[in-house]
Amino acid sequence: DCFPWPGVTRSACEARGCIYTSGDPNQCTFDDGVGTSSNIFYHAEHFFLQVFDTSLGGLVFSDQFIQISTYLNSANLYGFGEHEHHSFKHDMNFVHWPMWAHDETVQTGVNLYGHHPVYMNVEETLDAHMVLILNSNAAEVVTMPAPGLTYRTTGGLLDIYFFLGPQPELAVQQYVSTVGLPMMVPYWSLGYQLCSVGYTTINESKSAVDRMREYDIPHDVHYGDINYMMEYRGFTIDPVNYAGLAEYVEHLKEEGTRFFIIVHPVIWNAGEPGEYLPYERGTEMDIWIKDSQGSYQNGSGWPGSVFFADFTNPKTEEWWGDECVLFKEELDYSGLWINWNEPHSFSLPEPCANNSLNQPIFVPGIIEKGLTFKTICMDNQQYMGKHYDVHSLYGWSMAKQTLPVARRVENNEKRGIVFSRSTFPGAGAWNQHWLGYNEATWEDMRWSIIGIMEFNMFGFPYVGADICGLYEETSAQLCQRWHQLGAFYSLARNHNGGNLPPQDPGYFGEEVAEVIRDVLHIRYTLLPYLYTLMYNAHITGAPVIKPLMFEFDDDAVTLDIDDQFMLGPALLISPVLEENTTSIRAYIPDSRWFSYYDVRRTPSNFDNIANFTQLEAPLDFIPLHVRGGHVLPTQRPANTTVTSRNNPLGLIAALDDAGEARGSLFWDDGEELGSQCCLSV
Ligand SMILES: *[C@@H]1O[C@H](CO)[C@@H](O)[C@H](O)[C@H]1NC(C)=O
Ligand SMILES: *[C@@H]1O[C@H](CO)[C@@H](O)[C@H](O)[C@H]1NC(C)=O
Ligand SMILES: *[C@@H]1O[C@H](CO)[C@@H](O)[C@H](O)[C@H]1NC(C)=O
Ligand SMILES: *[C@@H]1O[C@H](CO)[C@@H](O)[C@H](O)[C@H]1NC(C)=O
Ligand SMILES: *[C@@H]1O[C@H](CO)[C@@H](O)[C@H](O)[C@H]1NC(C)=O
Ligand SMILES: *[C@@H]1O[C@H](CO)[C@@H](O)[C@H](O)[C@H]1NC(C)=O
């Protein structure tokens, strides 16, 4: 605020951190480190107008409707979630993006599971800043070609945070370390994971595992999706279709494969007395969400009639923890996948009352234009407030209570792991994320890169899309290409839907299985590098998977690139995203690059010329480039991390033009709680 107002005194000027030039009452200037400048307009613009400029007008601040608009410095706008975005950089031509936690098949234009009112603007100068509007009410943002944006919400307040970068990656670190640094994930959770809704019996699950063994595919995590439960009731095992599950899980663990379970926050409430104890114990503790009359709110979930645990109530953690501990005694699971936590209800036995919370006058452009669509009533009462205000915090509150529980079931000796469908700023400290219910299409594979880069920006560096696609039947070629891409997701999970042919790597026969095994071996080779990146994210908030523009932030061409990405600072991934394609046009930023596959022999021929180039990518190959100047720690791959961690370590040193390279390695026992906090950085 250095301003040459007439008669300014030295003390008033200096109180603003400006420089007073004696003898000239109009001089109150700023020293930007380069030299004192009297160009106050430059400084005013640089420090204020570029970040937020509400002179666009349109501010409304009223009960149940708040609106604010701002000019943006440039049309380089990124972020907001959770959506399926078709480009990483936003279309500024009046596009609406609703935000409100909601369970829906991944599709464009609709509000999905998480709620992230946060964006990045990369300025004309290529400096970047992020802005968080910390508000959990139903909202929408509308882009404008000005360039600008309008944000509207149904309540709360305007609590706006600015993170001034000035590099994109620094802005992300500032944002993430403010809302909550991400949890440290166990080493084994970086291994390959296999899951299917289609395992209706334990035998189908075993057949998929047998194919994994037959083709020697690395396999660190296997899953119980909804079918392991008896009639989908939480904390039960189907005694017929999944007879022998506990023993099988033990057997898998001996082979080095851990078991992850899906758990829902909705609890079956329609049994006879004594029939379903998790429900009875919860009722005793009075931890269910209540309707406006004070009765428990009924909903409809997988097990039928249900109540919803209120995770904003501190008492709920005790109930939730006790149930998880009891179940752990029955089944030795290693991770919790929390789902259904928007929260979702298929329907309600009675419609929500017509009042100003359930039917407010202004509803943002969310799906079905209804706050109560496929969820509970807005006038429901939770410990923390009306559901109207805390709806999008349901997953956040569940995560906050579930990570301590995941640790409690391991006697607080292991760090545990949780990932969740619904998320909110700050939840990354307790859970990570997968991108939800996608489809087996080439487009969904392409757009997964955007979602993953966004969630890394939001503070969820452990993230992946369902490899091969969840809904619809995949094809061998798509599944193979998706594994080549997914091998470089931080969360690499193949997840299939129900009533579909299998899509585990072994299902497609030897040729496909071999390609998948090879690329997973590259992943396992690089796990020490990936683990070090996860550690770095945990202590600094830095993204693990990121757009090229974060690493090459002085190259404006990278602002539009979202079909390639960086794994950390040193590995460039250029996946094939189209069917029947064996050559791709890829951007190679200015650096020294080496093909991953022959890194020790030949530097590639496009060093130091930022340009697009055509890369050969036959079906069994994904272009990977190591960046000069970096050292990547490696380890000889194996069928699980249990065995790979006993193998020799190695280093890939890719030299820069000066003949130098640097890197780091974080190493510990991979799962101990606390080890990661005690080493100096
Ligand atoms: C699984 O296969 C075994 C051996 O063939 C059989 O005894 C068992 O009934 C099958 N279980 C289910 C749930 O189909
Ligand atoms: C991995 O290999 C080891 C040693 O050969 C074996 O004992 C183990 O069962 C294998 N595990 C998997 C998941 O294939
Ligand atoms: C809600 O569920 C409880 C427990 O199953 C049941 O007693 C009650 O009648 C249900 N209420 C409504 C409105 O469906
Ligand atoms: C709810 O009430 C308002 C005002 O009383 C009325 O205009 C509106 O049509 C009602 N909506 C529904 C869905 O019944
Ligand atoms: C890819 O090739 C297959 C087999 O020739 C063909 O059926 C399919 O339509 C092709 N897909 C595209 C997108 O060209
Ligand atoms: C970039 O590649 C294009 C097409 O191959 C070529 O015409 C152009 O000269 C290249 N630009 C630079 C700076 O090398």
3-class secondary structure, 143: strand
Q: Is the C-alpha dihedral spanning 23, 25, 27, 28 positive or negative? A: positive
Residue 46 has pLDDT above 70, yes or no: no
Which pLDDT tens digit goes with each residue over 501-558? 999 999 999 999 999 999 999 999 999 999 999 999 999 999 999 999 999 999 999 9
Instruction: Indicate which ligand has the atom closest to the C-alpha of 607.
Output: 6
Tell me what percent of the residues of the chain surpass a pLDDT of 90.
Answer: 86
Tokens of 305: 């009639």
Helix (H) or strand (E) holding 139: strand 139-144
**What average pLDDT does this structure show over 558-571?**
98
Contact 311, 382 (CB under 8 A): no
Which pLDDT tens digit goes with each residue over 297-307? 999 999 999 99
> Does residue 213's CB lie within 6 angstroms of at least one atom of ligand 2?
yes
* Cα–Cα distance for residue pair 348/297, rounded to 1 Å: 9
CA-based nearest residue to 520, from 533, 532, 504? 504
Predicted pLDDT at 674: 77
Chain length of the chain: 681
**DSSP codes joined into one string, 35-63:** -EE--HHHHHIIIIITT-BGGG---EEET
Mutate to test the pocket of ligand 5, among 446, 475, 580, 582 (most ligand atoms within 8 A of CB): 580
* Cα–Cα distance for residue pair 69/142, rounded to 1 Å: 9
Sketch the domain layout of the chain as residue ranges.
Answer: 32-179, 549-680
Tokens of 121: 């603007």
Instruction: Indicate which ligand has the atom closest to the C-alpha of 517.
Output: 2
Q: Please state the three-class secondary structure of 246-307 as a single string.
A: HHHHHHHHHHCCEEEEEECCEEECCCCCCCCHHHHHHHHHCCECECCCCCECCEEECCEEEE
Helix-strand-coil split of the chain, %, nearest 5: 30, 20, 50
| Whether the domain at 32-179 and the domain at 549-680 fall into the same CATH topology | yes
> Does residue 611's CB lie within 6 angstroms of at least one atom of ligand 6?
yes
**What average pLDDT does this structure show over 127-150?**
97
Which pLDDT tens digit goes with each residue over 395-411? 999 999 999 999 999 99
Distance 376 CA to ligand 5 centre (A): 45
Predicted pLDDT at 603: 47
Ligand 1 nearest-atom number relative to CA 243: 13
Residue 607 has pLDDT above 90, yes or no: no
Mutate to test the pocket of ligand 2, among 215, 643, 645 (most ligand atoms within 8 A of CB): 643
Helix (H) or strand (E) holding 317: helix 314-330
CA-based nearest residue to 570, from 553, 592, 587? 592
Q: Give, using CA atoms, the residue closest to atom 4 of ligand 5.
A: 580
Contacts of 124 (CB under 8 A, 6+ apart): 73, 74
Predicted pLDDT at 49: 46
**DSSP codes joined into one string, 543-593:** -SEE-HHHHSTT-GGGGG--SSEEETTTEEE----STT--EEEEEE-SS-E
* Cα–Cα distance for residue pair 636/621, rounded to 1 Å: 20
Q: Terminus-to-terminus CA distance in the chain, angstroms?
A: 37
Other beta carbons within 10 Å of 557: 15
Answer left, alpha or beta for residue 541, where phi above 0 means left and psi between -120 and 50 means alpha: left
> Does residue 255's CB lie within 6 angstroms of at least one atom of ligand 2?
yes
Q: Give, using CA atoms, the residue closest to atom 2 of ligand 4.
A: 354
Distance 256 CA to ligand 2 centre (A): 7
Question: May I ask the CATH architecture of the domain 32-179?
Answer: Sandwich (2.60)
Distance 188 CA to ligand 2 centre (A): 14
Burial of 71 (0-12, 13-18, 19+ CB in 10 A): middle
Q: 20 pLDDT band (50/70/90 cuts)?
A: confident
Whole-number average pLDDT of the chain: 93
> Does residue 578's CB lie within 6 angstroms of at least one atom of ligand 5?
no
CA-based nearest residue to 88, from 451, 614, 456? 451
> Does residue 257's CB lie within 6 angstroms of at least one atom of ligand 2?
yes
Distance 551 CA to ligand 6 centre (A): 22
* Cα–Cα distance for residue pair 653/633, rounded to 1 Å: 9
Contact 117, 140 (CB under 8 A): no
Predicted pLDDT at 7: 57
Tokens of 79: 């972020």
Q: Give, using CA atoms, the residue closest to atom 14 of ligand 4.
A: 354
Q: Which residue, chain included where needed, has tokens 């829902």?
A: 264
Q: What interhelical angle do 510-525 and 527-540 show, nearest 10?
A: 50
CA-based nearest residue to 187, from 621, 635, 623, 558? 635
Q: Which CATH class, in words, describes the domain spanning 549-680?
A: mainly beta
Q: What interhelical angle do 442-458 and 476-486 show, nearest 10?
A: 20
Q: Which of 44-53, 215-224, 296-305 has the lowest mean pLDDT?
A: 44-53
Ligand 3 pocket, CB under 6 A: 269-270, 298, 305, 349-350
Contacts of 186 (CB under 8 A, 6+ apart): 414, 415, 416, 417, 670, 671
Q: Which residue, chain included where needed, has tokens 């084994």?
A: 188
Residue 3 has pLDDT above 70, yes or no: no
Tell me what percent of the residues of the chain surpass a pLDDT of 70.
Answer: 91
Which pLDDT tens digit goes with each residue over 91-116? 999 999 999 999 999 999 999 999 99
In the DSSP assignment, the letter for residue 603 is B
Other beta carbons within 10 Å of 126: 18
Q: 679 pLDDT band (50/70/90 cuts)?
A: very low
Helices (H), 338-412: 387-390, 394-408
Tokens of 142: 């509308």
Distance 298 CA to ligand 3 centre (A): 6
Q: For residue 21, give Cα distances in angstroms to 10, 16, 39, 45, 100.
A: 8, 14, 14, 22, 52
